């Protein structure tokens, strides 16, 4: 009898084989992704944390809870970097594996199931986000943006946020046949606004009241609040558990969708 969603005995081994495939490619070609993974967050850190932060510090510290703007911004940039990387890694590479290079089709031609392909690619994306995030933490520390060991918690919060976004975007990408319009719309109308209006660069309570509910439904807002609370030691336990629950729920929904949609596309 076939197990649900294509899961078979030795499921974890199949997932790890998919992870191994992407790791093998990455360790030979990591330079091709260094700009988007590390340099872009570094530029954000320099432009906003160091440059703009020098203007905000002083009178503007009331909005940041009295901490330097760089320290306040740094954990949020970890979450932003995770979300942007997750969105990119879950769009064009996914469509390429379905349509152009057909890597997924090669995988399921053997003993690996579509569900294992989906979960393996998702696991690899989260591992990559976490690794580049760890490098970014070192860069933040060099520029004086780390207030204490809580930044490790910020990295975990960023990884959870990236995982939730990656699962949902991978599910969407599994339905896309042509790369132009859908992905452009996703970045233009979802990823960029989410980056700008999720409390990353300024508190959400500075937005007009009618805009705030839009920010509150953003996964990045929940990730930013978690990452900032971990780094600065702020936030109420119940609110933080709420943020974790929302992100974990989105991740669970994404996993269900991505396994079903991969199975549908790879078995038709």
Tokens of 139: 């860069």
Position with higher pLDDT, 12 vs 8: 12
Write the DSSP assignment of 194-218 as a string of letters.
HHHSSSSSS-GGGS-TTTHHHHHT-
Tokens of 217: 């439904």
Whether this prediction's pTM lies above 0.95 is answered by no
Tokens of 167: 């699962």
pLDDT mean over 194-221: 89
Count helices and strands (H / E) in the chain: 14, 0
pLDDT mean over 32-61: 70
Question: Does position 55 have pLDDT exceeding 90, yes or no?
Answer: no
Lowest mean pLDDT among 92-106, 143-157, 200-214, 223-237: 200-214
The pLDDT, as a whole number, for residue 119 is 97
Residue-wise pLDDT for 77-110, tens only, equals 999 999 999 999 999 999 999 999 999 999 999 8
Position with higher pLDDT, 43 vs 155: 155
Asked whether the beta carbons of 41 and 81 are under 8 A apart, the reply is: yes
What is the Cα–Cα distance from 27 to 30, expressed in whole angstroms?
Answer: 6
């Amino acid at each position: 009898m076939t197990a649900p969603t294509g899961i078979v005995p030795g499921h974890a081994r199949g997932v790890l084989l998919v992870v191994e495939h992407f790791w093998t490619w990455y360790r030979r070609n990591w330079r091709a992704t260094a700009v988007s993974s590390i340099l872009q967050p570094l530029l954000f850190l320099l432009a906003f944390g160091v440059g703009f932060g020098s203007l905000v510090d002083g009178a503007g510290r009331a909005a940041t809870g009295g901490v330097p703007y760089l320290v306040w911004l740094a954990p949020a940039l970890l979450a932003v970097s995770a979300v942007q990387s997750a969105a990119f890694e879950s769009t064009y590479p996914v469509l390429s594996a379905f349509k152009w290079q057909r890597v997924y089709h090669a995988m399921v031609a053997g003993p690996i199931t579509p569900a294992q392909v989906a979960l393996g690619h998702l696991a690899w994306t989260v591992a990559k986000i976490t690794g580049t995030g760890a490098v970014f933490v070192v860069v933040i520390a060099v520029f004086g943006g780390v207030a204490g060991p809580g930044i490790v918690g910020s990295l975990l919060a960023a990884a959870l946020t990236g995982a939730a976004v990656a699962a949902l975007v991978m599910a969407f990408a599994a339905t896309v046949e042509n790369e132009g319009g859908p992905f452009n719309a996703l970045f233009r109308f979802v990823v960029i606004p989410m980056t700008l209006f999720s409390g990353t660069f300024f508190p959400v309570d500075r937005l007009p009241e009618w805009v705030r509910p839009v920010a509150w439904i953003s996964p990045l807002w929940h990730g930013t609040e978690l990452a900032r609370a971990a780094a600065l030691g702020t936030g109420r336990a119940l609110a933080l558990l709420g943020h974790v629950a929302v992100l974990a729920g989105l991740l669970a929904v994404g996993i269900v969708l991505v396994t079903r949609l991969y199975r549908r596309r790879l078995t038709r």
